[in-house]
Chain A
Amino acid sequence: DAGVTQSPTHLIKTRGQQVTLRCSPKSGHDTVSWYQQALGQGPQFIFQYYEEEERQRGNFPDRFSGHQFPNYSSELNVNALLLGDSALYLCASSRGGTGYQSNYGYTFGSGTRLTVV
């Protein structure tokens, strides 16, 4: 059973550029959440997608946007990259949207390491 798949694993971009990160959720999961994890910090919630709509959003600027496709996969887009956007971007999948509750937690991918130079 495939877990959460993220691509690419590493990415280097220049300030001002745009980037797209991709996530395929675990089989059976229909909800995707994106997190940003700076070095030495815990993951910070960016937003959550369920039924192809953004359901919740964290305290991130509009430069961060996303999309969910009919097959439940998701993309995270970041425009006008800043040096401070350098981080590990994590995708977590779950079931049932915001009402999710499970004994098995959210399943995380291995992340995309974004470096902005």
Chain B
Amino acid sequence: EDQVTQSPEALRLQEGESSSLNCSYTVSGLRGLFWYRQDPGKGPEFLFTLYSAGEEKEKERLKATLTKKESFLHITAPKPEDSATYLCAVHKYGGSQGNLIFGKGTKLSVKP
């Protein structure tokens, strides 16, 4: 069965302390990998799509990278407003798990 595993489950950082979130996957028929941000009680908000190994995308303090087996979300000099749960999802065609298969997320807390 296709799987998406995110680590760590929770991450506490001080403001300005850079770190990385990991998303490892085993998926057949991968079409792409998405990163989403989710605030409490809200729906996921799209951040990035990555399609091929070696690809990188950046947005403000966030940078996403992709290899053949995992993706990293690097957070540089985070601010308290970056606190949220970050979800990784792999996109594939068909299957009983649907087109988007999500990990459980990493809950990021950034303290001032």
Interface residues of A (CB under 8 A from B): 4, 33, 35, 40-45, 47-48, 56-59, 88, 90, 92, 98-111, 113
Contacts of A48 in B (CB 8 A): 98-99
B65 at the interface (CB under 8 A from A): no
Say yes or no: A42 contacts B46, CB within 8 Å: no
Question: Residue of B at shortest CB range from A97?
Answer: B99
Contacts of A47 in B (CB 8 A): 98
Contacts of A33 in B (CB 8 A): 98-100
Say yes or no: B44 contacts A108, CB within 8 Å: yes
Given A104-B49, A108-B45, A111-B42, also A59-B99 (CB < 8 A): no
User: Roughly how many angstroms separate A50 CA and B4 CA in the complex, as a whole number?
Assistant: 26
Contacts of A111 in B (CB 8 A): 41-43
Say yes or no: B93 contacts A110, CB within 8 Å: no
Question: Residue of A at shortest CB range from B39?
Answer: A110
Contacts of A102 in B (CB 8 A): 49
Chain B CB count within 10 A is highest, among A35, A43, A102, for A43
Say yes or no: B99 contacts A110, CB within 8 Å: no
Selected from A35, A90, A104, the residue in CB contact (under 8 A) with B46 is A104
Contacts of B101 in A (CB 8 A): 45
Chain A CB count within 10 A is highest, among B32, B93, B95, B98, for B98
Say yes or no: B102 contacts A105, CB within 8 Å: no
Say yes or no: B99 contacts A100, CB within 8 Å: yes
Selected from B45, B49, B96, B103, the residue in CB contact (under 8 A) with A58 is B96
Say yes or no: B49 contacts A103, CB within 8 Å: yes
Contacts of A105 in B (CB 8 A): 34, 36, 46, 49
Question: Residue of A at shortest CB range from B88?
Answer: A42
Say yes or no: B42 contacts A41, CB within 8 Å: no
User: Roughly how many angstroms separate A100 CA and B99 CA in the complex, as a whole number?
Assistant: 9
Given A33-B99, A48-B99, A58-B96, also A101-B32 (CB < 8 A): yes
